[in-house]
Chains A and B, each alone.
Chain A
Amino acid sequence: MQVSVTVNGEVVSREIEPRQLLVHFIRDTPGLTGTHWGCDTSNCGACVVLMDGKPIKSCTTLAVMCEGHEIRTVESLEVDGRLDPVQMGFHERHALQCGFCTPGMEMTARALLDENPDPTELEIRTAISGAICRCTGYKNIVSAVEWAAEYEASQRQEA
């Protein structure tokens, strides 16, 4: 069946099988391989993208369910060569090692800060608790999100 999904601001229209998962749709059609899959069961969060600004797990979402919706992937974070503060924070605070969970973590963090610009440590831990990282033990991911929140606050103050 025909489906049209807005991915990172571009409308992607394609004839697909109704069963095609969003994660495969994103990776296959526009070739955006930053969104990973890790578990098939909504547990690991490597596949998190934003649908209309809310984090969803694209490994258990059918592409056809996204008809007419806006999907944002990790590839949208950097704009005109400027990194998103979340990306900067991950680098600053060594919040990644193998990098496989990073896109999902970053999108989850982006959604959190969009909704709650000044989260507590527990709010950050709760927000990312739907995502698994095997490498970092989460300490530096929490720290990276705190870094991004502080950076964005300082940017707002300057503006």
Chain B
Amino acid sequence: MATVENLPSPSTERPIGFGRLKRKEDARFIRGKGTYLDDIRLPGMVYGALLRSPYAHARIVSIDTSKALAHPNVAAVVTAKDLETLGLAWMPTISYDTQAVLAGDKVRFQGQEVAFVIATDEYSANDALQLIDVEYEPLGAVVNARKALDPDAPLIRDDKTGQHDNLASPTWEAGDEAATDRAFAEADTVVERDIIYPRCHPAPLETCGMIADFNPKTGQLDIYNGNQAPHVHRTVYAHVAGLPEHMIRIRCSDIGGGFGNKVPVYPGYVCAIAGSIVAGVPVKWVENRSENLMSTGFARDYVMHAEMCSKAGKITGLRVDVIADHGAFDSTAQPTKFPAGFFHIVCGSYDLEASHVKVKAVYTNKAPGGVAYRCSFRITEAVYLVERMVDALALEMKADPIELRMQSFIAPEQFPYETTTGWTYDSGDYAKTMRVAMDIAGYEDLRREQAEKRARGELMGIGVSFFTEGVGAGPRKHMDILGFSMNDGADLRVHPSGKAIVSISAQTQGQGHETTFAQIVAEELGIPPEDVEVRHGDTDKSPYGLGTYGSRSTPVSGAAVAVVSRKVRDKARLIAATMLETRPEDLAWEKGRWYVKGDPEKGALIEEVAERAYSGETMPAGMEGGLDAQVIYDPPNLTYPYGAYIAVVDIDPDTAQVTVRRFIAVDDCGVRINPMIVDGQIHGGLAEGIGIALMEVITFDEEGNCLNSSFMDYLIPTALECPDFELGETVTPCPHHPLGAKGVGESPNVGSPPAIVNAVIDALHETHGVDHVDMPCTPARVWAAMQGRPEPPQ
């Protein structure tokens, strides 16, 4: 790999092990030498393009592909009829539902895949799409989750035997209903809110795509595809296409962001594979931005009703009822036993007496999905709801929102703490973290400034959120996806010269795994991180595991790498004892070296042990040569990072434009392996949180037309909408993770939207009587709230 040269940082700045090590992967990216999917060209490759439905709900009367087939550069046009002969017209979703690969009977959302054209070049493939004649018979569409179960709502999934309404799941419950009723009966204050977490989209800068290369002579299927879970994808393709799993190889190379959007299997992937099997040449399919926004995994879309109560100044109970909009096919991503993901973590960071949560899912004529946009399985929705409700309660009690939280926090001595919905939080000192955030913000000064500004007619708001996340799914006794345990592997090989390769099943999309995981091996073995190469993204060359999402890389894969390093270190101890002609128990470890207790001069460096392990010299009795090890890590519990966030917003009284002036984020993610990378992750998630709170939304008109199908309408924050983030930290090591780490990637996206919305309401409550605004807090919505008008529908 090319190295970053002529940089002024002296090598002494490079720590062995943990610390602010600059990233190894930068060398290729700063030169524009990354290899993303669309950069790959194979000999003889042809190009695919998808024809998509203009209607949200319509019966397909006929499809005429003859004109497209007559195009001189078109090799094939594939429709549902062709796929039926291959048994590929429908595919399973991640939620045990089915999804049409290409629509045969009906289209069920605008942008649904209808036909797949294969041509010699991308321009011709797209030209040919215009030559396909599809006759549709439009049907009424359901776009509002609250109306999906109305008796007169059109039936969306008439393909499913026994499906007579648009219910996508039975009602799923957590907590204790009777105990919750008692808590409410005994409460002195109760508040109630209807809160929507609107549909938004991860929109990674690189869209989704695939190159499928089936070799008819050998039966080998080579797949190039940026996805977050390559091993699971391979297993799914083996099942769906009936191909032997060991003859499928997925290579991910570099991925231009994922954020949950690259977890699912999409119809375009199956079309590319089917196309290559039929055509016998490599087929590339890359979606454009509109296809990405209109058809691939969206996030959220939770319509929530909540009540929260308090007694004697402390939060005591929570009651939640949710309608989850899963779109036309239920492909929401979550572990099998948790149909609403981890939403029942909704009791937050508080020591409640009781809580009760109900969630049911409905089908609508909208794109399928329900992926976690930088979130661990619906935790974002849960945190948003509870943190909005705490602020609503504080308003009702006329209490300071921080004071109410402080009174209600789970106390440090209560950990491990079992919540009223069944989670076992591992560790925390919430009040300490909250105080660090208040200090950075200068909370009292901010309140004074707010009062002064209010007197002058200026609108300034201070919003708080405090979140607890459960990340690092997960223990095999509790969770699986499609029957696969959520464990991850690591394979460490130390070569005779002491240089090492560690192969992992996590899949980076920019998280810096090549650096962080090298640092873990470096810390554990005491060799420089430059001497550790991290291998991932190739199913032929990495151990099985469930991939990267749900902030699980460090909690699961990171633990696997620590454990495998310790296995190698233990083996090195036995070899060193033979080398030093002593007993293993007489040796002590310091970074990079086993030495004789009482005679520290006498020792063996890990490099010397490695050389010995591959040499012709004697090994310990019964031990095989070499210095390597392999593990599959099964986490004993999730990890529970938490944080205190404070947003300061200004609102233009004439235009209702919300500006985030300051954002303070204090995260406790346990031990930080590379604090520079951790900070970077937090910055990125905060920007996405600002986007969700203020501008990112996918909406539909009544006919089901998607109104946010390009970056002209799906707005993403730029450098001008993001403040200079102010970060802080506390460190409470995770008691069960081998490194004490907890995971962090998603915390900022989870914690920031409620802080911003709470700040908007804080700015407007006293002067305008506003006690609720749904996201995104666009000028139009905030203006309507300021005028006391109902918000524009979404």
What residues make up the interface of A, taking CB atoms closer than 8 Å to B?
A: 17, 19-20, 24, 27, 32-41, 43-44, 46, 73-75, 77-78, 81-83, 87-88, 90-92, 94, 96-103, 106, 121, 124-126, 128-142, 151
Contacts and interface: CB of A to CB of B under 8 A. Distances in A.
B12 interface: no
B160 interface: no
Given A97-B681, A99-B256, 13 more contacts: A38-B206, A39-B711, A41-B712, A44-B205, A83-B4, A92-B22, A94-B23, A98-B204, A101-B205, A106-B30, A133-B684, A134-B716, A138-B718
Contacts of B289: 38-41, 44
Contacts of A33: 32, 35-36, 38-39
Interface of B: 4-9, 22-23, 25-36, 38-39, 122-123, 203-207, 254-257, 259, 288-290, 509-512, 676-677, 679-688, 710-712, 716, 718-720, 722, 724-725
B9 A92 contact: yes
A73 to B, nearest CB: 7
B7 A137 contact: no
B205 A132 contact: yes
Contacts of A126: 719-720
5 contacts: A81-B6, A96-B30, A101-B205, A102-B30, A136-B687
A97 B680 contact: yes
A39 B718 CA distance: 15
A127 to B, nearest CB: 8
Contacts of B720: 125-126, 129
A100 B687 contact: no
Given A81-B5, A91-B22, A136-B683, A73 B32 contact: yes
A78 B32 CA distance: 10
A83 B30 contact: yes
A126 B256 CA distance: 24
A102 B719 CA distance: 14
Contacts of A131: 718
B contacts with A: majority SS: loop
B711 A91 contact: no
A82 B6 contact: yes
Contacts of B290: 40
B205 A94 contact: no
A136 B684 contact: yes
A135 B711 contact: no
A47 to B, nearest CB: 11
A27 B685 CA distance: 31
Contacts of B685: 137
A32 B31 CA distance: 11
Contacts of B207: 38
Nearest to B293: A39
A131 B203 CA distance: 14
A27 B719 CA distance: 27
A87 B719 contact: no
Nearest to A151: B8
B711 A43 contact: yes
- Specify which of A20, A36, A124, A141 lies most central, judged by the most chain B CB atoms within 10 Å of its CB: A36
Contacts of B32: 32-35, 73-75, 102-103
B680 A136 contact: yes
B254 A129 contact: no
Nearest to A74: B32
Contacts of B256: 36, 38, 98-100
Contacts of A87: 30-31
B344 to A, nearest CB: 29
A100 B207 CA distance: 11
Contacts of A132: 205, 711, 716, 718
Contacts of B718: 128-132, 138
B510 A135 contact: yes
A76 to B, nearest CB: 10
Nearest to B203: A134
Contact of B31 (A39, A75, A129, A138): A75
B481 to A, nearest CB: 24
Contacts of B27: 91
B756 to A, nearest CB: 14
A97 B512 contact: yes
Contact of A96 (B9, B26, B206, B676): B26
